Amino acid sequence: MTEQLFCARACGWPEKDDQPAHPKLATHGTLCDSCFVRVRLALKTIPELLMNMRAAVFPASNFELTERVQGGGDGSPAPLQVGALDSSDALFVKLVTWVDEVSEKLAIPKPSIRVWMGMSEAQGMRMPVSAKAAYDQGSQLVTWFLNRLDAIAALDLAVEFLNDITEGHDDSPGAYKLMRRYGSEQHKPRDSQKRECPVCGKREVFVAHPSSFNSEVMVLCGLCAESFDLSKYPELVEMLRTA
């Protein structure tokens, strides 16, 4: 495990009237408060994302998916949404892969969960997988991570873990990228309700009300995903009170 003074992602506070720009402290292992909240919220979105993606595989049906590809035979093929299927499997494999990595680093047992295996590596969820089953399996893995998140944040892989879970990469997007397509509808604030972000400078700060993605009221920037401690930003208190 690693001990350091400043955030490993080089996060910083912007210059203000009474103080110069300065780096954020690593308050959770190698990560600052903002990074820790960012990855925690991303993890919390994953069970619902998996559920929504599985529900989208057959948008006109509530039946469980029993075969990966249905073809041949009489009649028209089922309206299989391959993008949703591949995305859900890729996200599930991402979790399973990180479970293997973290359990080895921390020398702790892995959660017991069914995985569809290829020749040498995980390929996705074991069939059949309903939307509810996807949610339950995702919740099991996410809870395992959340219960150990401070310990994960202290590992030398913390930044890689955060980047992969939140944004990911082209063939395996992270939670925030997937939310744009598979996230549940959220109340979207009007432009007049937004405030200027003290970090990125854009007028994208809004009040995020409790939902399946966050259990408490938060003040967030919709562009840089910064979350704000209102005791440090009294100018945002009135915004929260009005909302």
Single out the residue in 151, 184, 217 at which a domain terminates. 184
Which residue, of 168, 184, 200, is where some domain finishes?
184
The rounded distance, in Å, linking the Cα atoms of 12 and 200 is: 11
Nearest to 222 by CA among 190, 165, 235: 190
What is the distance between the alpha carbons of residues 18 and 46, in angstroms, rounded to a whole number? 40
| Residue type, position 68, single letter | R
More confident residue, 236 or 143: 143
For tokens 């920037």, what's the residue?
Answer: 221
Q: Is residue 22 part of a domain?
A: no
Q: Both 168 and 191 in a single domain?
A: no
- Per-residue confidence band for 199, with pLDDT thresholds at 50, 70 and 90: confident
Going by pLDDT thresholds of 50, 70 and 90, the confidence category of residue 174 is: very high
128 and 224 in one domain? Answer: no
For the chain, give the percent of residues with pLDDT over 90: 23
Distance between first and last Cα of the chain: 41
Same domain, 237 and 213: yes
Reduced to 3 states, what is the DSSP secondary structure of residue 168?
Answer: strand
* Tens digit of each residue's pLDDT (9 = 90 or more) over 132-152: 888 888 898 999 999 999 999
Domain match, 97 and 131 both: yes
Number of domains in the chain: 2
DSSP state at residue 185: P
- 138 within a domain of the structure (yes/no): yes
Residues 66 and 92 in one domain: yes
Q: Are residues 124 and 64 part of one domain?
A: yes
Bigger pLDDT: 146 vs 235: 146
* Residues 82, 196 within the same domain: no
pLDDT tens readout for residues 53-67: 888 775 544 444 334
Which of 82, 85, 96, 95 has the alpha carbon at shortest distance from 175?
Answer: 95
pLDDT of residue 61: 42
Query: Does a structural domain hold residue 8?
Result: no
Q: How far apart are CA 150 and CA 95, in angstroms?
A: 17
What is the mean pLDDT of the segment spanning 120-134?
A: 64
96 and 156 both lie in a single domain: yes
pLDDT value at 119 more than 60: no
Q: What pLDDT does 66 receive?
A: 39
Classify residue 48: in a domain, yes or no: yes
| C-alpha span between 111 and 43 (Å, rounded) | 16
Residue ending a domain, among 134, 150, 184, is 184
Mean pLDDT score of the chain: 76
Return the CATH number at 224: 3.10.20
Burial status of residue 59 (CB atoms within 10 A of its CB: 0-12, 13-18, 19 or more): exposed
- Written as one letter, the residue type at 67 is E
Domain enclosing residue 42, as ranges: 33-71+78-184
Count Cα atoms within 13 angstroms, Cβ side, for 144: 20
- Lookup result for tokens 């780096």: 23
Q: Is residue 165 part of a domain?
A: yes
User: Are 192 and 129 part of one and the same domain?
Assistant: no
Kindly state whether residue 153 falls inside one of the protein's structural domains: yes
Give the integer Cα–Cα distance in Å for 131 and 63.
9
* Residues 67, 227: Cα–Cα separation, whole Å: 42
Which pLDDT value is given to residue 74? 45
pLDDT above 50 for 47: yes
Mean pLDDT of 113-126: 52
Query: Quick check: is 88 in a domain?
Result: yes
**CA 233, CA 221: separation in Å to the nearest integer?**
13
63 and 171 co-located in one domain = yes
Range scoring the smallest mean pLDDT among 29-43, 63-77, 80-94, 160-174: 63-77
Q: Look at residue 38 and tell me if it is in a domain.
A: yes
Of 124 and 146, which is predicted with more confidence? 146
* 104 lies in the same domain as 138: yes
On whether both 97 and 205 belong to a single domain, the answer is no
